[in-house]
Structure 1
Amino acid sequence: MNQENPTSCCCVLDASTYVGFWILKRLLTKGYSVHAAIRKNGESMLEEEIRDMEATEERLEVYDVDVLDYQSILVALNNCNAVFCCLDNPEGYNEEKEVDLEVRGAINVVEACARTESIEKIVFSSSLTAAIWRDNIGTQKDVDEKSWSDLDFCLKKKLWHALAKTQSEKAAWALAMDRMVNMVSVNPGLIVGPSVAQHNSRPTMSYLKGAAQMYENGVLAYVDVEFVADVHIRAFEDTSTCGRYFCFNQIVNTEDEALKLVQTLSPLIPMPPRYEKEMQGSEVYEERLRNKKLSKLVEAGFAC
C-alpha cells in the first residue's frame, strides 16, 4: 500500500465517538476517503461537526447506521477496504443492558465485514479494561495482550465498562476467526485529549470506576487521543499486524502522576481540597502493564 498516496476507502463506525472522530480526522489528513458511519444518539457536537465537514470535504461521506440493523452497516461498508470499529456508549456504562447492546453491535459489524468482499481488515477499538480486572491482579507480574478481564469478577463488581469491552472484544475475535476475517484490536488506556471532558465525559467516568484499585495495582494508564488514532491507522496500514495491541503513554503509579491525571480531566474529577506539596511522590506502586507489541509497531511506522 502506498501510504503517501492512499487509495483506500475506510469506514469509521461510530465516527461520532471521541476516538472515532479523531481517527476520521487523521484518515482525511493522510489522504484516505472515509465513510463516517454515525449511530443516532441525538445531535452531539461531534456529530454536528462531522456533518459540517461533509459539506466541504469531498472525500467524506456520512452514513446513519444502527448497529443492531445489519443492513445499515452493509450500506456504510460499501466499497471500503477497512473498518475502524469504535463502539462506545455516549451515555456511559451504568447497567448490564448496555453490555448486551455493545456485544450485539460488535457481532453485527464483524458479520457484515465477512459478507463484504472489499474489506481487507477490521481494526477493533477495545480498551485496557478488557484485560486488567480479576481477583488476583495484584499478584500478576505482567499484564499484557494475553490477559483478559474476568467476566464473573466484572459482573460481581458491576464494572459495566470492563464487562462491555471484554465481552464485545471476545465476541468479535470469535466471529472473526470463524469467518476468517482479518482483524486486529487496539486496547487503549484511559483516553485524554482536547475537550475530552466535554466530548467524552460519561465513557471516561465509566472507565474510571474502580480507579483506586487500578492505581494501587499498577494498571491505571492513560493515552492521548491523537496517538490512539495514529496507532489505529498504523495497525491497518502495516500488513504484519496481528492480535491485540495495548496502547498507553503513561502508567499512573505515583501521587504525582495521579495529580496530573486529575488536572487533565478537570472538571470531571474535582481536585483534592488539600494537596500538600511535600507529600507528592510519597507512594510508588509497581507497574504491571506491558506494551512491547505497540513499541515495535510504532517504531516500524517511524521507520517507513
Structure 2
Amino acid sequence: MAVPKEEERKKLVCVTGGCGFIGSWLVRTLLDHHHSYTVRATVQDLSDPSQTYHLRSLLPSNSDESRLSLFQADLLDSGSLWAAIDGCEGVFHLASPCFLEDPREPQTQLLDPAIQGTLNVLEACRKAKVRRVVLTSSISAMVPNPSWPHDKVVDESCWTDIDFCKAHKKWYPVSKTLAERAAWEFSKQHGLDVVAIHPSTCLGPLLQPSLNASSAVLLQLLQGSEESQEHHWLGSVDVRDVAKAQLLLYETPCASGRYLCTNGIYQFKDFAEIVAGICPGYPLHKFAKETQPGLMGCKDAAKRLLDLGLKFRPIQDTLKEAADSLKDRGFLGQPALISSSSS
C-alpha cells in the first residue's frame, strides 16, 4: 500500500466500527466536514451488505469515491487493524461488541474483543505515529457506581464499580470500563495522545439497517417496557451531537482526558414523560417514583464539552426524529388512535 503524502495524511482518518449507529454518523460527519477528511472505516464483514451499503451511500453527491474506503477488520487480528490504520493521522476507535441480549460467553464475546481489541488498535496507532486517538467509551464506564455520593453530580471522575457489575452479571459495563482503563495505561506508557468521550443513551435517526442497543431503549419504552434503567441512566444525547463532539475533540489541541457527552442528567422517569408527550398513543409505562434513587440532576453535566463550544440539540427534536426513524425502519408500529373522550 502506498504511503500517503504528508498533505493527504493530515486529512486521512480511520473510524473503527464505522458501520454502527454512532460510527455511521461519525463517518457522515467527517465526509460532510469542510476540512474534507478522507475516511477509512472498518467493518466486520465486507461481504455483508447490511454493513456496507449505508456507508457507501454517505458520500456527498459528486464527491470523490476515494474519500471513503472500507476495511474488513477483526479487533483480535492486529494485521487487519494495521492495514486500516497505517498512514492515518488520526483514529476514532468505536468498535466494541454490544448485544441486545446478555451474551452467553462474556469473556470471549465481550471482554476479550473490547480490552485486547482496544490495545491492538492503540498499538497500531503507536506504530503508525497517529497524532491523536479519540476513544469512544461510554457512560457504562462511569456507572453503575453505587458508592458515588448522592449529593454530588456525576462527572468525569466517576468510574464504574467493577465488582458490583460482576456480582450482578452486568458484563457490558465491565468490558467498557476495563477497555478504557487499559487505554489510559497504554497512553501513559507509550506517550500516545488519547482523548475519551462518554456518550449517554444515544438516540436519533438510524443510518444503519439494524437496531442498536441504545435505540432499543426508546423502542422498548414505547412498547410499554417497565425497565427503569436504574443503574445505567445518565440522560440521553443525539447521535449527531456525539459525532460532532468526537470531531471537536479530535480538532481541539487542548482537549485531554474524559468527556461526558449528555444533554443533561435527569431521571429516566422524566425522560419517559417527555417521550409520552412527543409520542402520544403508545402504551408507555408511567413511572410513579424516583427511577434513579439519589441521582443528582444537572442541565449542564457535559460542561467540559460545552466549554469547548459544543451545542446540543433539544431532546424533544431528537426523540421525534428517533421515533420516526424507528417507524420508517419497521421496528415500531403506528400509535393507537386516542379516543376524543380520553383524559
> Counting helix residues as a fraction of each chain, which structure ranks higher?
1
> Is the contact between residue 195 and residue 255 of structure 2 (CA under 8 Å) also seen in structure 1?
yes
1:128-175 Cα deviation digits (max 9, x unpaired)? 111121232363513211111011111111212211111111111111
**1:63: how far off?**
0.9
What is the CA–CA distance in structure 1 between the aligned matches of 2:216 and 2:202, rounded to whole Å?
11
Q: Are 1:111 and 2:123 an aligned pair?
A: yes
Which residue of structure 1 lines up, in the alignment, with residue 27 of structure 2?
Answer: 24
Which residue of structure 2 lines up, in the alignment, with residue 222 of structure 1?
Answer: 236
**1:298: how far off?**
2.3
Distance 1:72 1:93, change over 3 A: farther
Distance 1:52 1:204, change over 3 A: closer
> Is the contact between residue 228 and residue 269 of structure 2 (CA under 8 Å) also seen in structure 1?
no
- Secondary structure in 2 aligned to 1:184? strand
Q: Are 1:78 and 2:78 an aligned pair?
A: no
1:265-286 Cα deviation digits (max 9, x unpaired)? 99xxx7336x59xx899x9963
Q: Are 1:287 and 2:297 an aligned pair?
A: yes
Q: Are 1:9 and 2:19 an aligned pair?
A: no
Q: Which segment is superposed worse, 201-210 or 178-187?
A: 201-210
1:51-80 Cα deviation digits (max 9, x unpaired)? 455796331111111111111111101211
What is the CA–CA distance in structure 2 between the aligned matches of 1:196 and 1:222, rounded to whole Å?
18
What is the CA–CA distance in structure 2 between the aligned matches of 1:190 and 1:254, rounded to whole Å?
11
Among 26, 35, 39, the alignment partner of 1:34 is: 39
Which residue of structure 1 lines up, in the alignment, with residue 52 of structure 2?
Answer: 47
What is the CA–CA distance in structure 2 between the aligned matches of 1:155 and 1:250, rounded to whole Å?
28
**1:100: how far off?**
2.4
Aligned letter for 1:12? V
Q: Which segment is superposed worse, 36-45 or 13-22?
A: 36-45
What is the CA–CA distance in structure 1 between the aligned matches of 2:208 and 2:171, rounded to whole Å?
20
> Is the contact between residue 93 and residue 161 of structure 1 (CA under 8 Å) also seen in structure 2?
no
Distance 1:204 1:156, change over 3 A: farther
**1:46: how far off?**
4.5
Distance 1:296 1:8, change over 3 A: same
- Secondary structure in 1 aligned to 2:309? helix
Distance 1:167 1:211, change over 3 A: farther
**1:45: how far off?**
2.9
Among 248, 257, 270, the alignment partner of 2:271 is: 257
Q: Are 1:139 and 2:150 an aligned pair?
A: yes
1:84-133 Cα deviation digits (max 9, x unpaired)? 0002325446232212221111111011111112x100000010111121
What is the CA–CA distance in structure 2 between the aligned matches of 1:60 and 1:164, rounded to whole Å?
30
- Secondary structure in 1 aligned to 2:121? helix
Structure (1 or 2) with the larger CA radius of gyration: 2
Which residue of structure 1 lines up, in the alignment, with residue 230 of structure 2?
Answer: 213
TM-score normalised by structure 1 residue count:
0.81
What is the CA–CA distance in structure 2 between the aligned matches of 1:166 and 1:48, rounded to whole Å?
32
What is the CA–CA distance in structure 1 between the aligned matches of 2:126 and 2:9, rounded to whole Å?
23
- Secondary structure in 1 aligned to 2:80? helix
> Is the contact between residue 234 and residue 262 of structure 2 (CA under 8 Å) also seen in structure 1?
no
Which residue of structure 2 lines up, in the alignment, with residue 101 of structure 1?
Answer: 113
Distance 1:112 1:211, change over 3 A: farther
Number of residue pairs aligned between Structure 1 and Structure 2: 285
> Is the contact between residue 19 and residue 229 of structure 1 (CA under 8 Å) also seen in structure 2?
yes
